[in-house]
Amino acid sequence: MEAAVRTTCPYCGVGCGIVATPDGKGGAALAGDRAHPANFGRLCSKGSALDETLSLDGRLLHPEIDGRRAGWGEALDLVATRFADVINRRGPDAVAFYVSGQLLTEDYYAANKLIKGWLGTANIDTNSRLCMASSVAGHKRAFGSDTVPGNYADLEAADLIVLVGSNLAWCHPVLHQRILAARARRGGLPRVIVVDPRRTATCEGAELHLPLAAGFDVALFQGLLAHLDRAGLVDRAYVAAHAVGWDEALASAQAFADPDAVAAACRLPVADVRRFNAEFASTDKVVTVYSQGVNQSSAGVDKVNAIVNCHLATGRIGRPGMGPFSVTGQPNAMGGREVGALANQLAAHMDFAEADVDRVARFWKAPRIARKPGLKAVDLFEAVGRGEIEAIWIMATNPAASMPDADRVAAALSKCPFVVVSDCVADTDTLRRAHVKLPALAWGEKEGTVTNSERRISRQRAFLEAPGEALADWKIVAEVARRLGAGEAFAWKDAGEIFAEHAALSAFENGGTRDFDLSGLTGTDYAAFEPVQWPVGTTGSVERMFADGGFFTPDGRARFVPVAARGPASVPDATYPFVLNTGRVRDHWHTMTRTGKSPRLARHVGEPFAAMAPGDAAATGLADGDLVRLESPWGQAVLRLRIDAGQETGTIFVPMHWTATHSGTGRINALVNPAFDPISGQPELKHSPVRVAKWMPRWQGFLLARGPVDVSMLEYWVSSAGEGHMRYEIASEATLDHALLSKLVGDVPDRLDYADRIGGRYRAAAFVDGRLAACVFVGPRATLPDGEWLARQFAGNVLPADLRRTVLAGRPAAAVDLGPVVCACHGVRSATIDAAIEAGCGTPEAIGAATRAGTNCGSCVSELAARLAVVRRTAA
């Protein structure tokens, strides 16, 4: 083993520290960093499985031009020449960059500097536009700056946490576990209220769940603001000293002064509205945590300000255990905001005010600085589709799958004259449309910094060798800049030099007028860099902000923002009667370019699904496990139906992760409407009208194989990783073709086949050197084995004769069905958990002690509680 390296997780915005010990063979042993203040050693299921994602399978390792391998010189020359040509012919606004929260801050900085300082356009946006742009805009309207006031310790110090539009238990599980641990230490404090149309894992153990009508968060918090005033709980001294606009904000809330009006708008019991108001009003230490359910809305900015208004009114901001808290979805969404990688920002939390443009131009010595905002994500890709943008460079993201109205985005990229994609993987929906592919370093190979949701900057450090010809993203950008004549301004030797320049820009002519200040980090030892919260002045780091005012507005006062409740942009009708809500599942992340490689993570949810309320399913004649077709005015998908009692009537939840590389029909963002918030530009990813109908294939089944198999000729297919094999769910409307299925298994002499044409059944298995190489099972769903025993055979050696004869049965007669995986960290299945319950384990903690389930990241604890309830009901 080589020396251990301290780095930071590449998944969500919690920013957990990891200790990586390379094994010298291209892998590493990974563990949580007990010294890191974000996680103190704890990792979620995704972070715990990172070791399964380090292989070079599926990596882009060499530059390509039009599908052929090319040298770096040829590829970079072409990128520089084509961009220069478009700018010379049509001007700088005919080119664009689209970047990602997966980039490190140094990568972000280089890309932003090149396009805004040398190419002369602000047409650079980031996939963080889909994540936290509404929070940015809300912060700036209220505080004058994009500042998160508090930190993670506030979650443990609070007496009440209100979670709004956040399934924290699954999407930020380490933070959720910090809250649960605090409750155990503090006798049940903080209490938890969940505001979410869905009943999610986060609701387990919460004191109150408010399943409000989707999109009506503003009405709830306007009602709360009016209640605080009526109850005499407004902190008049704080408001008078540190804020303006109170009267106007209060007047805008009067439509919901009556709790009955709030209850009617939000479709909540009035008693629950009154309880919510009372809990917030009577508790001094309140943190309101919000995430995508707030941000991903056509009214997202107003939702943010409705929340912030309540904290400003009570002075509950910037003190321990108090404040509004936006938790971000990506590891470096905050870093992108810092460097200005949004189209409406310039750099270092400066905008396009004349003084800011002049300041940045002088610091960069930029010859052609952008002087106005560029196009935000939705508008940017629409401009690509109209031919207004002729050249686009996409870095570390997959907009052809992740953008709303994704088919339209994919079509726009397909007809764009010049598409460059820098990525670490070889195949994505977006890469399939690239003229030039540039291999970038991946996590574990690159050096830089990331900033998490609490403003804490941490190092990502390399612990693996750079594979193939892959380069750091900043280095690729710098090489293009050199070819465009800007080499001197991009002549960094390493990422540390870029960070030093980034810190210097933050301090340049600052003097406390801007929140983002790293002046205390200029000259820091980059190699020994320890996690730190910004701002970091010469006197040290600032943990919390705004307790005593000091807002970054011209007069130093916060702004109350009058807001009005309004519904989503697109609403259901007779043709599209259901609301589609998209989001994440526990063990996958974004478009699965990393988590999709992990067999451990695929066990929990291996197939895209549509979750529907029991009453809605019954009314439409659907049953659990059916395949259903979802259609919207923008696109369609075929998914597996999952009946979910926690789903709000009239709504359907679908996870966002499956793309064309993992599923033939699961690209759910093709159905999502492209409406966006008029201020932030953030799309409304959680409210699109759809209709649903049963999809009735002539046959369905699954295929297991040691290597990848081309199943793209089938109407329905989904791939997932297994130990030593791939699994494919398959179905078709065509007549059952035994010859085709036999070909999928493999044309080998050593095989077993079973066919029942009348019953619509077919089973086959192929063996190579006595080992199971592939098998396929097709028939009525109820007759199919679960495949778990078969999957285990791929990890073994030669099958003995008695087991070989049982392969087409799916498992030996004596084999026990252990059920689905509940705990991904330890591979604990439902049957093991049920047995522990039947043996007397009456709490999730007792189950954990007996089985280890829930004892690592804890994100399955809610499912343990659900299993307890099911077993108890069955026993009764």
Per-residue pLDDT tens over the stretch 725-750 = 999 999 999 999 999 999 999 989 99
Three-state SS string across 73-109, please? HHHHHHHHHHHHHHHHHHCHHHEEEEECCCCCHHHHH
Query: pLDDT averaged over the chain?
Result: 95
Chain position carrying tokens 């190979």: 445
pLDDT tens for each residue of 467-523: 999 999 999 999 999 999 999 999 999 999 999 999 999 999 999 999 999 999 998
Q: What does the chain come to in residues?
A: 876
Residues forming a β-bridge with 651: 579
**Predicted local confidence at residue 242, as pLDDT:** 98
* pLDDT average, residue stretch 67-82: 98
Mean pLDDT of 90-115: 98
CB 218 within 8 A of CB 565: yes
**C-alpha separations of 637 from 527, 666, 692, 793 in Å:** 48, 6, 10, 33
Q: Indicate whether 1 pLDDT > 90.
A: no
Model confidence at 2, pLDDT cuts 50, 70, 90, reads confident
* pLDDT single digits (tens) 378-430: 999 999 999 999 999 999 999 999 999 999 999 999 999 999 999 999 999 99
Over residues 40-56, the mean pLDDT reads 96
Q: Which residue has the tokens 């010595």?
A: 365
Q: Do 392 and 82 contact (CB within 8 A), yes or no? A: no
Q: For 270, what's the count of Cα atoms within 13 Å in the CB-facing half-sphere?
A: 7
Model pLDDT, residue 859:
80
The stretch 524-546 carries a mean pLDDT of 96
Region 796-800: mean pLDDT is 84
What count of other Cβ atoms lies within 10 Å of the Cβ of residue 513?
10
Cα(346)–Cα(358) distance, integer angstroms: 11
CA distance linking residue 756 with residue 759, whole number of Å: 5
The most distant pair of C-alpha atoms in the chain lies apart, rounded to whole Å, by 85
Is there a contact between 29 and 412 (Cβ–Cβ < 8 Å)? no
Going by C-beta distance under 8 Å and a sequence separation of 6 or more, which residues neighbour residue 293? 164, 165, 166, 195, 196, 197, 217, 686
Tokens 């966002």 belong to: 656
Q: Between 246 and 603, whose confidence is greater?
A: 246
Q: What is the pLDDT of residue 213?
A: 94
| 636/671 Cα distance (integer angstroms) | 6
What would the DSSP string read from start to end of 712-781?
TTSSEEEEEEETTEEEEEEEESSPP-HHHHHHHH---SSEEEEEETTTTEEEEEEEETTEEEEEEEES-G
Extended strands (E) in 314-415: 323-326, 391-395
| pLDDT at position 876 | 65
The pLDDT of residue 68: 98
Give me 467's structure tokens: 């594979």
Q: Which two tokens stand for residue 533?
A: 């919260």
Task: Please say if the pLDDT value at position 870 is more than 80.
Answer: no
Structure tokens at 240: 């008078």
- The token pair that represents 34 in the structure block: 């007990």
Does residue 460 contact residue 447 with C-beta atoms inside 8 Å? yes
Is 634 a residue whose pLDDT tops 80?
yes
How far apart are alpha carbons 689 and 702 in whole angstroms? Answer: 31
User: Mean of the pLDDT values across residues 352-359?
Assistant: 98
**Poorest-pLDDT segment among 19-28, 124-133, 808-817:** 808-817
Q: Could you tell me what percent of the chain has a pLDDT over 90?
A: 89
Please identify which residue in the block is written with the tokens 């026990």.
816
Which tokens in the block code for residue 20? 């990586």
Is residue 838 classed exposed, middle or buried when 0-12, 13-18 and 19+ CB atoms within 10 A define those classes?
exposed
pTM above 0.85, yes or no: yes
Q: Are 844 and 865 in contact (CB under 8 A)?
A: yes
The yes-or-no verdict on residue 126 having pLDDT over 90 is yes
Q: Which long-range contacts (CB under 8 A, 24 or more apart) does 177-183 make?
A: 177/42, 177/857, 177/858, 177/859, 178/152, 179/155, 180/205, 180/858, 180/861, 181/156, 182/155, 182/156
Which of 231-235, 441-445, 752-756, 854-858 has the weakest average pLDDT? 854-858
Q: Is the pLDDT of residue 17 over 90?
A: yes
Residue 802: per-residue pLDDT: 82
For 43-65, letters b (16+ CB in 10 Å) and e give bbbbbbbbbbbbeeeebbebbbb
Q: Which helix (H) or strand (E) holds 183?
A: helix 173-185
Report the alpha-carbon distance of residue 218 to residue 323 in Å, rounded.
17
Q: How remote is the C-alpha of 232 from its chain's centroid?
A: 40
pLDDT, one tens digit per residue, over 278-315 is: 999 999 999 999 999 999 999 999 999 999 999 999 99
Q: How far is C-alpha 107 from the geometric centre of its chain's CA atoms? A: 20
